[in-house]
Amino acid sequence: MQNDLLISVVIPVFNEEESLKKLYSELFRILEPFERWEIIFIDDGSDDNSYSVLMDIADENSRIVVIKFLKNFGKADALSEGFKHSKGDIIITLDADLQDDPSEIPNLIEKIQEGWDLVSGWKKNRQDPLSKRIPSRLFNVVTRLFTGLKIHDFNCGLKAYRRKVINAVNIYGGLHRYIPAMAHQNGFSVTEIEVHHRQREFGQSKFSGNRFFHGFFDLLTMLFTSKYFNRPLHFFGFIGLILFMSGLFVSIYLTIGWFQGIWIGNRPIFFLGILLLIMGIQFFSIGLLGELFIKNTAHSEKKIHSVYTSHQD
């Protein structure tokens, strides 16, 4: 293990006052063998005594950095701010609720040093109620399907990154759930290891049912702004094709019935078929306009570059 590497541990905090001192004690024990390390706590607008506890911890050790948000901005913004202030060659993230086991940090670093750019934890034996495990499993299945990245747990708090990864990905909103997918689409190598997951000791879970729906929209955002950003027709055209083919199928079905003497003018499915056809054409047109815009922009950039090169000559 290379002790000359600087290890940064980035931890978002929201109303976790009871767990923070125990978390710091465990982290100190794990990080002490490393010569160079830092811990960055981001208080994401806590309304309990979390910030006071963090300041007490920071007074004990100059390697502790505490950042405070004036209100709750969300985990993605907290991580992004922590990444900006981190100086490490390897960056570790984990949650502050003690369910992520700090003793897994050396395993994550060891896997990084095998040559991987991002290592994500996999809570194979997850210590959470069924109401959290089922939506999480569905979320991971859908994300694997759309992103093509074959890992089991995209949203595990325990992750390790090389610095070049966090410099390349821009996270906001709820995109922290998709950092492995975003890194994968940027050409970085991504893998996972099984990690120990613990039951919550203090406080209450921040999970709510609407996070699943927010995650779906964040997935669309991530796909469109990364995978399909330069190919909008592939995104909108695919949706348009599905809608158009559905409308065409309905229209053919009704046409066959019309030839058999079935009146279709007052049937709701007739209007549904027309609506699907129109929406399909509209989505396809949006994708085509996007393609024309991108190609025109690229052409303009080439012309500017050509003028600049000619001037240099």
Average pLDDT over residues 283-305: 63
Q: Can you give the pLDDT at residue 186?
A: 87
pLDDT at 79 over 60: yes
pLDDT at 134 over 50: yes
Is-contact 183 168, C-beta < 8 A?
A: yes
Residues 6+ positions from 250 with CB-CB distance below 8 Å: 269, 270, 272, 273, 276
- Distances in Å between the alpha carbon of 263 and those of 46, 181, 246, 255, 286? 64, 51, 21, 10, 34
Q: Quick: pLDDT tens for 181-211.
A: 889 988 999 999 999 998 888 766 665 556 6
Lowest-pLDDT range of 59-68, 69-78, 149-158, 266-275: 266-275
Question: Phi and psi at residue 265, in whole multiples of 5°?
Answer: -65, -25
Q: Can you give the pLDDT at residue 3?
A: 63
pLDDT at 138 over 60: yes
pLDDT at 128 over 90: no
Selected from 3.40.50.720, 3.40.50.261, 3.90.550.10, 3.40.47.10, the CATH number assigned to the domain covering 6-227 reads: 3.90.550.10
pLDDT at 247 over 80: yes
Q: Can you give the pLDDT at residue 196?
A: 92
Gap between the Cα atoms of 192 and 146, Å rounded:
18
Q: Can you give the pLDDT at residue 42?
A: 96
Mean pLDDT for the chain overall: 84
Average pLDDT over residues 285-304: 62
Lowest-pLDDT range of 31-35, 172-176, 244-248: 172-176
Q: What is the DSSP string of 283-297?
A: HHHHHHHHHHHHHHH
Q: Quick: pLDDT tens for 23-59.
A: 999 999 999 999 899 999 999 999 999 999 999 999 9
Among 126-140, 180-194, 298-312, the range with the most confident prediction by mean pLDDT is 180-194
pLDDT at 305 over 50: no
Q: Can you give the pLDDT at residue 260?
A: 82
Q: Quick: pLDDT tens for 255-267.
A: 888 888 787 777 8
Q: Can you give the pLDDT at residue 296?
A: 64
Q: 140 is written with which tokens?
A: 């991971």
Q: Quick: pLDDT tens for 99-126.
A: 999 999 999 999 999 999 999 999 988 8
Q: Can you give the pLDDT at residue 207?
A: 55
Name the percent of the chain lying above pLDDT 90: 47
Q: Can you give the pLDDT at residue 80?
A: 93
- Distances in Å between the alpha carbon of 102 and those of 16, 20, 282, 304? 16, 12, 51, 51
Gap between the Cα atoms of 273 and 68, Å rounded:
54
